[in-house]
Structure formats: structure tokens, C-alpha cells
Amino acid sequence: MCGRYTLTRSDRNSLATELGVPADHLRDYTPRYNAAPMQRLFIVISEYENRKIVPARWGLVNRWAKDNSRASQCINAKAETLEVRPSFRDAFKKRRCVVPADGFYEWTGPKNARRPMWIHRADGNLILFAGLYEDWFPEKERPETTFTIITCEPNPLMRPIHNRMPVILDNRAADDWMNPTEAEPLSLKRLLIPAADDVLLAQPASPLANSVKNDGPELLVAT
């Protein structure tokens, strides 16, 4: 699964360039060292062949839902079952997104001494998680966008750490994935595969990452 991630770029203008969006889309951006479920973050979607930043809360809520009580159970979606699960089926057909990050956490060790590992790209580039999004209405005529991160089988690096990993797309695959005019969404499942063996590195992180109350650069320093 993927339950915490980071996006630590300090320069919003260079981040906008990396994401292929106008700089003013990120005017409210701040670096995140411990992004967590149910928090308000942001996603990237494709609109009229251009990329667009959309503020969104992590934990998908279907547009027909009466409340968000199941959001915490929908922070991840299995790639293998997107087209059949009622929670994700419609979004898979019509509302695909990417979630920008530069790393994510997984935990190792016994239950009483869990240790966070920060997994990031070996080349330092951004990570683009494959995601889905939905709008629901906590208040009449006031929609809220929510999202989920898609997971797949682990690659050799991740296998000793966890039995799932987030789907990571390159820029070209991201554009294909987000294309809202795709007539055959099932064909896009070809993109939902583990990252190549040499893409990621895993390094110990600080136990401070265990608490969502902590969110600073010290989380990436092993102690």
C-alpha cells in the first residue's frame, strides 16, 4: 500500500516546470514531508490536453456517497480490480489523475519497533503515482475532490518491505493515463505495473515519520 508520501521541492516555479503546469497553479504550494490520508493535498489532471492542478483530499469518496465515512478505506486501489470494484469503477473509466511526490514511506521491523523507510527515485526526479479522483458533495453545491493512489505487485526492491507498491508512471505514461478521451480505459491497465528494478532507492528515515503531526525535513534523517 501507500499510506504516506513526500513532496519536498522548495521552489514552486521549478516544481511547476517539472509537472508541466503554469506556476500560478502552485501559488498555495508548501513542501510536505509527511503527507497523510484525509489531508488536503493536490493532484494533476488533464483538461483540454493541458495539465491542471486540482486541490484534493486523500481518500476517495464516491459522488453518490452520503458521507465520507469510508474515505480512510479508499486511500489505495488495487490495479488488478479497478474495473470491477464499485468504489473505483466509474473513476477508472472517466476520472484518472496522477499524484505528484518525490518519495513515500513504508515501515519494516516488528510491531513494537516499526522503522520507516523513505523510498525515492535514484535519480532524484519526481514520482508520479497513478491515481483516480471523484467529486462528492459534503454540502449542497459545494463539491470536494478526493483521490486514491493505485497499487500493484511489488518489484524486487519493495518485496522485502511490503507486498504492494504504488504504481509509478513516467511523463509519457502519465499523459496517456490522464487522457479523459481514452475510448478504451481497459487498455490503460498495461501501465499499472511495478517500477523497474533500478528506478527506486530505499533509505532509513527518522521515527518522527511515525506521527502525522510531524512534517519537516528532519523526518528524512535517520537517527
Task: Give the pLDDT confidence of 172-210 residue by residue, as tens digits.
Answer: 999 999 999 999 999 999 999 999 999 999 999 999 999
Helices then strands (H, E): number in the chain? 3, 13
Q: What is the dihedral of CA 138, 55, 185, 6, to 10 degrees?
A: -120
* Cα–Cα dist 205/119, whole Å: 9
- The answer to whether the pTM exceeds 0.95 is yes
- Residues 48-80: b if buried by 16+ CB within 10 A, e if exposed: eeebebeebbbbbbbeebeebeebeebbbbebe
pLDDT for 2: 86
Label residue 114 by pLDDT band (50, 70, 90): confident
Summarize pLDDT for 11-57 with one digit per residue, the tens.
999 999 999 999 999 999 999 999 999 999 999 999 988 999 999 99
What is the 3 state secondary structure string of 62-113? CCCCCCCCCHHHCCEEEHHHCCCCCCCHHHHHHCEEEEEECEEEEEECCHHH
- CB-neighbour burial class of residue 184 (10 A; exposed 0-12, middle 13-18, buried 19+): exposed
Summarize pLDDT for 66-75 with one digit per residue, the tens.
889 999 999 9
β-pairing, 103-108 with 40-47? unpaired
Q: Where are the domains of the chain?
A: 5-220
Considering the segment(s) 5-220 as one domain, its CATH architecture is Alpha-Beta Complex (3.90)
User: Which residues are CB-contacts of 28 (< 8 A; sequence separation ≥ 6)?
Assistant: 55
Q: Which residues are catalytic?
A: 2, 106
Q: What are phi and psi of 7, to 5 degrees?
A: -145, 95
